[in-house]
A and B are shown apart, each in its own frame.
Chain A
């Protein structure tokens, strides 16, 4: 081994190409990973460094022996794609039964369930005319509601995050949380393509808030998508700086 390999290389000594390399290799975690994603979203030259590494490491996957998945995998994918493409038409019918099911899942507060019940009655998805046409461009919203619990440290408190595809709204329940008067907390969606994070808004302690989401965010909503909570100055992350420290995280999953 050469001496150079043993020379310590501390976190602060890394240049951007090296951080991008660590990211591409998959060894960045937690706050560092979030920072890298946020940076790539705001800095095309950093995003290009990640792509540089990705393109060069990708040929290594040739060493992995190919494998045939179950024969029913393609039908499953096809069915999921079709159900997403056909929108929420068939879903509205069984909303009532699913609502009962959601109320049993721990990921949803009774307040959020009540809001959902209201949405179910009043939501545009219940009107046949409002259903999306099957021929429209890929529908980005997931078909089922997604929930995530975001436990706040060891406080026993948590955020309840529920995404309702029918209304393209995010319900964020921060019941029991109180403001410290110095910080705000901002919720982030980690883009599944690894291309950065998207803000889901600043948390309002003690309330359940419905947040309207933009198409760019809705397109990234899905089962298994990670959400992160960062500590920020009052008002949320200032323009042009990286997000603050990550204080909590959760994963959206279908109920």
Chain B
């Protein structure tokens, strides 16, 4: 990333952080600003998990209304605003998947994974490039199948039971794979931060 694009990213992040703080202070106009800056990314996330446009739109509506209701939950000193919003949207979409309102698993396992790594996206400049690189580096140290299952859980909201069935292994085996994977991932992420 060049210096000028780094600066542009910093400015975009700060602007979003500022809008989040204003929203928490009761400025409802800030919501539109946040929506404009983030809805393409957040809708992509909701759609990826729910696999249905209407469900994803309902989830996204829920995300922004909830954000407006409880903007004070965002702590500007702790998290990057887009990371926080992306996590929030993903959690809401997964919750929706789990409550059984949605058929779920709309994207078949085989089609779920082959997204290009680190595809350049419009909203990507809001994201912390350093942290992004690190999680990708650390995931790449995992065994292929474990990595794909971790990605399946993250991107498609698959449960242990669904992944065990898809991989045709006992539930306990799948749990152990993922848990060992998380263990390695954590060690790698921590090592990266200590360096």
Footprint of B on A, CB under 8 Å? 1-2, 4-11, 14, 17-18, 21-22, 25-27, 29, 51, 54-70, 73-74, 76-78, 80-81, 84-85, 137-138, 140, 192-195, 219-220, 222-224, 226, 251
Q: Measured between alpha carbons, how far is A27 from B151 in the docked complex, in Å?
A: 12
Q: Can you name 16 extra interface pairs (CB under 8 A) apart from A63-B116, A65-B115, A84-B68?
A: A6-B176, A6-B177, A18-B186, A21-B182, A22-B182, A26-B153, A27-B158, A58-B83, A59-B131, A63-B118, A64-B48, A66-B123, A80-B61, A138-B28, A138-B71, A193-B91
Q: Are A77 and B61 in contact (CB under 8 A)?
A: yes
Footprint of A on B, CB under 8 Å? 26, 28, 31-32, 35, 39-41, 43-45, 47-48, 53, 56-57, 60-62, 64-66, 68-71, 73, 78-80, 82-84, 86-88, 90-92, 94-96, 98-101, 115-119, 121-124, 127-128, 131-132, 134-136, 139, 143, 145-146, 150-151, 153-155, 157-160, 172-173, 175-183, 185-186, 189
List 3 A-B pairs, minimum CB-CB distance, nearest first: A59-B132, A58-B83, A66-B40
Q: Are A251 and B99 in contact (CB under 8 A)?
A: yes
Q: Are B180 and A29 in contact (CB under 8 A)?
A: no
Q: Are A66 and B99 in contact (CB under 8 A)?
A: no
Q: How far is the CB of B69 from chain A (nearest CB, A)?
A: 5
Q: Are A9 and B83 in contact (CB under 8 A)?
A: no
Q: Which residues of A sit under 8 angstroms from B176, Cβ to Cβ?
A: 5-10
Q: Are B62 and A9 in contact (CB under 8 A)?
A: no
Minimum CB distance partner of B99 in chain A: A251
Q: Are A81 and B179 in contact (CB under 8 A)?
A: no
Minimum CB distance partner of A251 in chain B: B99
Minimum CB distance partner of B63 in chain A: A77
Q: Measured between alpha carbons, how far is A68 from B117 in the docked complex, in Å?
A: 21
Q: Are B35 and A74 in contact (CB under 8 A)?
A: yes
Residue among B65, B79, B128 with most chain A CB within 10 A: B65
Q: Measured between alpha carbons, how far is A138 from B96 in the docked complex, in Å?
A: 24
Q: Are A69 and B39 in contact (CB under 8 A)?
A: yes
Q: Are A27 and B26 in contact (CB under 8 A)?
A: no
Q: Are B131 and A73 in contact (CB under 8 A)?
A: no
12 cross-chain CB contacts under 8 A: A6-B176, A9-B180, A11-B175, A58-B87, A59-B83, A61-B86, A61-B90, A63-B155, A67-B40, A69-B56, A77-B35, A77-B64
Out of A22, A65, A195, A251, name the residue touching B44 (CB < 8 Å): A65
Q: Which residues of A sit under 8 angstroms from B86, Cβ to Cβ?
A: 58, 61
Q: Which residues of B sit under 8 angstroms from A74, Cβ to Cβ?
A: 32, 35, 39
Q: Measured between alpha carbons, how far is A230 from B25 in the docked complex, in Å?
A: 36
If A26-B154, A68-B40, A76-B61 touch, whether A138 touches B159 (CB-CB below 8 Å) is no
Q: How far is the CB of B118 from chain A (nearest CB, A)?
A: 7
Q: Measured between alpha carbons, how far is A65 from B120 in the docked complex, in Å?
A: 9
Q: Are B73 and A193 in contact (CB under 8 A)?
A: yes
Minimum CB distance partner of A11 in chain B: B175
Q: Which residues of A sit under 8 angstroms from B101, Cβ to Cβ?
A: 224, 251
Out of B95, B173, B182, name the residue touching A192 (CB < 8 Å): B95
Out of A14, A55, A193, A194, name the residue touching B70 (CB < 8 Å): A193
Q: Measured between alpha carbons, how far is A59 from B129 in the docked complex, in Å?
A: 8
Q: How far is the CB of A167 from chain B (nearest CB, A)?
A: 19
